[in-house]
């Protein structure tokens, strides 16, 4: 697998304080995920500049939004993202959603061109189907490095995980805490109580223990940032994992 990501990264949607980013980096976060539509790339960039950690130790990812996926817009918007981030290049650039201006035959070569010119290191997809991933793989010169999708105990598309493993790319789970719904689930609650940890940590540990999957929970407080990072050290038993696999809940949260 070309891209090695830590089991727990930082989702930054809604974070508007650079110091939160800087603190997370100095705490040990090495994978930072943002997007044009989050409107906080400048915040993330400022946080990176404040942190006393070498740039080469970080994996910085952003995403091109659906209205900027025409070829000229891909380059222009990516250059604007780099300017806001204060970086010469990002490690990973995603197609955020294959909708609106997305045309695989023209959008994807524009991503290849950015990679060839050194503005991005790797290319990712987000919210794709297996059919769309297959089409992208045929068109791209570069490999697909990551696919970012909603994944948590209440929603999992295992066909996407199977595809990721076959293709050799990482599945990046967003909304890994199901927007807080993990705190209301009795099974997660039981395991958390038995372990002396939180339901959030149980969910993150469940994801971290799935081969080929990493997650990007969002947190702002020092307490939650530390707790999320520590979840990677929790090794669930096969019995605990089976209990979580049987959880039913709200299902998909983001369309």
What does each C-alpha distance from 113 to 25, 98, 245, 253 come to in angstroms? 30, 19, 41, 34
- Specify whether 29 is catalytic: no
How far is Cα 81 from Cα 63, in angstroms, rounded to an integer? 9
Give me 221's structure tokens: 């407080």
Tell me if 206 sits within 8 A of 241, measured CB to CB.
yes
What does each C-alpha distance from 35 to 120, 195, 223, 252 come to in angstroms? 14, 35, 25, 21
Query: Which of 176, 141, 170 minimizes the C-alpha distance to 156?
Result: 176
How far is Cα 147 from Cα 70, in angstroms, rounded to an integer? 20
Q: Considering 29, 38, 102, 155, which one is annotated as catalytic?
A: 38
Location of structure tokens 């990551």: 146
List b or e across 31-48, with b for residues whose CB sees 16 or more CB atoms inside 10 angstroms. Answer: bbbbbbbbebbbbbbbbb
Query: Which of 49, 39, 60, 41 minimizes the C-alpha distance to 19?
Result: 49
Location of structure tokens 């035959």: 105
How far is Cα 229 from Cα 25, in angstroms, rounded to an integer? 11
Give me 76's structure tokens: 């222009």
| Residues annotated as catalytic (active site), given as ranges | 38
């Amino acid at each position: 697998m070309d891209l090695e990501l830590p089991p727990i990264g930082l989702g930054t949607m809604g974070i508007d304080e650079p110091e939160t980013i800087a603190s997370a980096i100095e705490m040990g976060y090495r994978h930072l995920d943002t997007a044009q539509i989050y409107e906080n790339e400048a915040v993330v960039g400022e946080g990176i500049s404040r942190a006393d950690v070498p740039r080469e130790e970080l994996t910085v990812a952003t995403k091109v939004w659906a209205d900027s996926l025409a070829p000229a817009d891909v380059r222009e918007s990516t250059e604007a993202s780099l300017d806001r981030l204060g970086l010469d290049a990002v490690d990973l650039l995603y197609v955020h959603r294959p909708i609106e201006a997305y045309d695989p035959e023209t959008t994807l070569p524009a991503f290849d061109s950015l990679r060839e010119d050194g503005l991005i290191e790797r290319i990712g997809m987000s919210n794709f189907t297996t059919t769309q991933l297959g089409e992208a793989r045929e068109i791209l010169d570069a490999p697909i490095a990551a696919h970012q999708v909603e994944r948590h105990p209440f929603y999992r598309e295992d066909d996407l995980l199977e595809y990721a493993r076959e293709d050799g790319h990482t599945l990046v789970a967003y909304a890994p805490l199901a927007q807080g719904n993990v705190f209301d689930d009795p099974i997660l609650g039981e395991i958390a109580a038995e372990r002396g940890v939180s339901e959030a940590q149980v969910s993150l540990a469940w994801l971290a223990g799935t081969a080929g999957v990493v997650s990007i929970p969002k947190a702002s407080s020092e307490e939650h940032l530390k707790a999320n990072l520590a979840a990677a050290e929790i090794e669930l038993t096969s019995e605990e994992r089976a209990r979580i696999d049987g959880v039913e809940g709200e299902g998909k949260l983001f369309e």
